[in-house]
Amino acid sequence: MRAQYPEIYAGLAHSLDDMRLTLFARIANILATTGNEQNIQADTGKVAAKVTTDAIAKSSASLYDEVGLDTLSLALLADVPIHRPLHLTHNSLVGQWRWLRQVWRHCVPLTYPSRPDTGLEKFAPHPEIVEAIRHGRNNAAIALLRQSFQKLDSGQSDKTCIRYQTFLANLTLFCPFIGTELLWRQGLITAVKDRRLD
């Protein structure tokens, strides 16, 4: 994963403010390379607002060590738009972790025998999520992601599995580790070879 997301690992050496901006910029870059947006950050400026914490680790690296990247990413992006100050609490981290655990428990046992003919590109980010990110409303984009998961979790039939695969593509924007793992388990992507194992 380190080779796949070097900007995230470089961001761990900086403050939570900078890490928040790094995570948002990564999402914007992914959307730009898929042709969804040319200049997503136009409405957000170049500086993320201040991130403060309560009695929890105050650096990106130590929070990453404690809760993992996906929980950290959701905690930094889910509550307020990128241009507004954020106050992280223990409860917000626990809430994000619980939601990711629920996603994992729901998605891991699912298997779909049919794979998309055109690959994952067919399931690229939902237009409403792209629009929210374009306007710097990362919190609204994550709310839309949670709504799409609620539809999956409600037990509604998804015979074509398009809703599920679209959810995974959207999840990967905000939670690269769990999203990539679930996509790999479904056979929608191939594993990236780890050069350190050579």
Structural domains present in the chain: 6-197 (1.10.730.10)
pLDDT 10s digits, 36-88: 555 554 445 566 688 888 877 878 889 899 999 999 999 999 888 888 899 99
User: Which spans in the chain are helix H?
Assistant: 6-11, 16-33, 60-67, 69-77, 90-107, 127-134, 138-153, 162-174, 176-185
Query: At residue 153, does pLDDT exceed 90?
Result: no
- Per-residue model confidence (pLDDT) at position 59: 84
H or E, element range at 86: strand 86-88
C-alpha to C-alpha distances, 186 to 115, 148, 168, nearest whole angstrom:
8, 18, 10
Instruction: Identify the three-state secondary structure at position 42.
Output: helix
Per-residue pLDDT at 8 exceeds 90 = no
* Nearby residues of 19 by Cβ (< 8 Å), 6 or more positions away: 11, 12, 60, 72, 76
Q: Is the pLDDT of residue 129 over 50?
A: yes
Tell me: the pLDDT tens digits for 166-190? 888 899 999 989 998 888 887 777 7
Cβ atoms < 10 Å from Cβ of 20: 26
Q: What is the pTM of this model?
A: 0.81
Position 158 scores a pLDDT of 62
Work out the pLDDT band at 118, boundaries 50, 70, 90. Answer: very low
Bridge-based pairing of strands 86-88 and 51-53 is parallel
